[in-house]
A and B are shown apart, each in its own frame.
Chain A
């Protein structure tokens, strides 16, 4: 059975071109880029070449790019490095729907006594910029707001938020986690992103391998290194560089941005068709984030009255890989914090399924999902105590039943 991979917001297949770019540094040029001999020089040149290419793609200067091991490291470094820059300020602004690599770091700060504002989102997953403005304080140290949400795909107006921050007080640092948007949405460090100080992304969401990421640090930003203990990256990120994967990251970003607009249009057309066909075939199906600006590749569905893990399990039986925000798939017992922040009704929050596409997905794969998904939903609804399969709608007494079974 052929695998249909539609979980590209989790990770992506490594592009063959990227593999080609990586291999020489695993096979022949294995030298430590910090060493003095000739061959090591090639390794350090490869890093600098990658740095220049990535900088050029983002409209940044080469010395603004720091290589890290992943976006989680970049986020930790950005936030913790910002704290050290100005100890007299303490207030941090973020959103309730950040990736745990930001949310947990900020929650940790809050436990240590830093005042934190977690901005809410509306039913569509959007932020109200007015809430953001009102949250800004005299002692605000750092704003960290993601560019696009990994679960819902909803895009935040980072350009506007960063501008408002800098017009209010240029010494407030602005960080954005652009892990899901880099390579998909326009990012111009001297253009639309000119007010952003710090930007994180990783390789494995754009067809480079896991284990490499970057933090873009604007020249002159007051930010202190997080990982110390070596002179690498101008002493701003210690540790022997992952030469091979850094070379791969540059190639991956080139590939993503060369044909970005056409690729985005193709992904969006596939995603929209999947969305249209599934909503037409399945009653009581919601599209999370519908009506908001969204990533072109992400479709997050909430299926009422069934549970997501059973959906994933059946999709898996068809070779289809997707993910869910259901409590049973989260490792904890809580359903997705993103969907709860969006106030997705509790009859549907456990039944969420996310399909996220990449350049390797095809129209035939979309057809296949359209073919099997409705039956998977029907199968589980037949088992659901809240669903009337004969009439294909919630049972008449579903509401009372929901209220009557509070005991657990």
Chain B
């Protein structure tokens, strides 16, 4: 597969891990805005903070002067985080203007990302958005009044579609529209949904249904599984006893005839399973390492069971 990264992406990453001056690794103490996105379970997570030059009278004129990140993630996740901070500091924007920075701006800044890494840039844009909302709360700015769509807490409320990455229907729906996602692979590349167990792809209410609903239904082929598991009837036991009865008799014989002998030598026996006349057993305690363990199973245990229960019984060492 190899690394399909642009030179810019590679440089941003290597500069970041080496802590080259001018990189933005870290976390601002008492930040004016803090946003997090992702989780360690998903494989990447970003903690983004920024500081503003506070305007004395009008908070909406605050200007972001410093941005920092901590990122758990792959090469491109770290490069995208670094890119996000640089973009913001270079632009000298207000937090509200910063909302105009979209994931595509991050992709462009790093000279492109491989398709399956697009979600790294989405993570950056999401964390920025969360940080701006956090700033608005702290500074008492009512984003709604300014005509900025405050996102509902859709993630907590909606129906869970992608269980692997914990993504809900309202969230997936919004992202399909925002990022103009037209197919399941595009959804997966952008927001990871459907990238793991894949069961949500074609189940009712799954990704395809959501896509169809958002963009209108197109003809598609549904693959149905051909046949079903056969059901086998329980075979009658050869000895005339049911498997249950046979099992009980085996256990009784082992308790009464075998265990007392083994206990004398500091050992014991574990019955792992009984299938018809086959008894799966292992010697434990002192018998476990005993050199004649296998012979004990055959000559002592098997013989006793053949005599007392059924002569067809075989003991298999486990």
* Interface presence of A313 (CB below 8 A): yes
**Is B135 engaged at the interface, CB distance under 8 Å to the other chain?**
no
Say whether B38 contacts A113, CB under 8 Å: no
B201 adjacent to chain A (CB < 8 Å): no
Report B287 CB to chain A, min CB distance, Å: 17
Specify which chain A residues have a CB less than 8 angstroms from the CB of B14 in the assembled complex. Answer: 317
Is residue A72 within 8 Å, beta carbon to beta carbon, of the partner chain?
no
CB distance from A374 to the nearest CB of B (A): 13
Distance to closest chain B CB from A78 (angstroms): 22
Given the interface pairs A168-B316, A333-B192, A347-B40, the reply to whether A133 lies near B72 with Cβ below 8 Å is no
**The stretch of A134-142, A170-178, A251-259, A362-370 that contacts the partner chain:** A134-142
A307/B74 contact (C-beta < 8 A), A114-B229, A314-B17, A347-B40 known: yes
Structural contact, B273 and A134, CB atoms closer than 8 A: yes
Asked whether any CB of chain A lies closer than 8 Å to the CB of B148, the reply is no
Q: Are B275 and A385 in contact (CB under 8 A)?
A: no
Contact status A408-B167, CB under 8 Å: yes
Least Cβ distance of B119 to chain A in Å? 8
Option from A112, A307, A313 in Cβ contact (under 8 Å) with B227:
A112
Binds A, one of B44-52, B54-62, B247-255: B44-52
Query: Closest Cβ of chain B: how far from A358's Cβ, in Å?
Result: 21
Interface size on B, residues (CB 8 A): 60
Chain B residues near A70 (CB-CB < 8 A): none
- Given the contacts A112-B227, A130-B273, A313-B13, A307 and B43 also touching, CB distance less than 8 Å: yes
B42 close to A (CB within 8 Å) = yes
Which of A33-41, A60-68, A266-274, A321-329 lies at the interface? Answer: A321-329
A160, B316: Cα distance in complex, Å: 11
In the complex, the answer to whether B25 meets A382 with C-beta atoms within 8 Å is yes
Name the contact of B78 in the complex, choosing from A136, A138, A310 (C-beta under 8 A): A310
Shortest distance from the beta carbon of B181 to any chain A beta carbon, whole Å? 15
Interface-side segment among A233-241, A278-286, A398-406: A398-406
Give a binary string over B183-206; 1 marks a CB under 8 Å from any A CB, 0 the rest: 000001000100111000000000
Q: How far is the CB of A89 from chain B (nearest CB, A)?
A: 10
Verify if B232 is at the interface (C-beta below 8 Å from A): yes
When C-beta atoms are compared, the residue in chain A nearest to B171 turns out to be: A407
Q: Roughly how many angstroms separate A306 CA and B78 CA in the complex, as a whole number?
A: 11
Query: Does chain B have a CB within 8 A of A59?
Result: no
Q: Which of A301-355 contact B (CB under 8 A)?
A: 305-310, 313-314, 316-317, 326-329, 331-335, 346-347, 350
Contact A385 B13 (CB under 8 A): no
Q: State whether the Cβ of A111 lies closer than 8 Å to any Cβ in chain B.
A: yes
Give the Cβ gap from A115 to chain B, nearest Cβ, in Å.
5
Nearest chain-A residue to B270 (Cβ)?
A130
A379 proximal to B (CB < 8 A): yes
A384 at the interface (CB under 8 A from B): yes
B133: Cβ under 8 A from any A Cβ: no
- B197 contacts across to A, CB distance below 8 A: 334
Please name all residues of chain A whose beta carbon is closer than 8 Å to the beta carbon of B278 when the two chains form the complex.
167-168
**B19 near A334 (CB under 8 angstroms)?**
no
| Distance A306 CA – B40 CA, assembled complex (angstroms) | 9
A405 contacts across to B, CB distance below 8 A: 36-40, 45
Cross-chain contact A90 with B230 (CB below 8 angstroms): yes
Chain A hits for B290, CB < 8 A:
none
> How near does chain B come to A330, taking the closest CB pair, in angstroms?
9
Residues of chain B with a CB closer than 8 A to A164's CB: 280, 316-318
For B227, the chain A residues whose CB sits under 8 A away are 112-113
Q: Are A133 and B273 in contact (CB under 8 A)?
A: yes
The verdict on B77 contacting chain A, using a C-beta distance below 8 Å, is yes
Distance (whole angstroms) from the CB of B116 to the closest CB of chain A: 8
Q: Does B266 contact A (CB under 8 A)?
A: no
B143 on the interface (CB 8 Å rule)?
no
Interface string of B163-176 (1 = CB under 8 A from A): 01111000000000
Does B150 touch A at the CB level, under 8 Å?
no
Residues of B within 8 A of A90 (CB): 229-230
CB atoms of A383 and B70 under 8 A apart? yes
Q: Nearest Cβ in chain A — how far from B162, in angstroms?
A: 10
Q: State A307–B13 Cα separation when bound (angstroms).
A: 13
Q: Would you list 22 pairs from A and B whose C-beta atoms are within 8 A, ordered by A residue?
A: A90-B229, A133-B273, A134-B272, A136-B275, A164-B280, A306-B72, A310-B13, A310-B17, A314-B17, A328-B43, A328-B44, A333-B43, A334-B195, A379-B18, A382-B19, A384-B70, A385-B47, A402-B40, A407-B37, A407-B166, A408-B42, A408-B166
| Extra contacts besides A164-B280, A317-B14, A408-B38 (19): CB < 8 Å | A112-B225, A113-B229, A133-B318, A136-B275, A138-B235, A164-B316, A308-B74, A310-B73, A313-B3, A326-B74, A328-B74, A331-B116, A334-B197, A335-B43, A382-B17, A383-B71, A385-B47, A404-B36, A405-B37
Residues of A within 8 A of B (CB): 90, 111-115, 129-130, 133-134, 136, 138-139, 160, 164, 167-168, 305-310, 313-314, 316-317, 326-329, 331-335, 346-347, 350, 376, 379-380, 382-386, 401-402, 404-408
Q: Which residues of B contact A (CB under 8 A)?
A: 1, 3, 13-14, 16-19, 25, 27, 36-47, 69-75, 77-78, 116-117, 155, 164-167, 188, 192, 195-197, 225-230, 232, 235, 272-273, 275, 278, 280, 314, 316-318
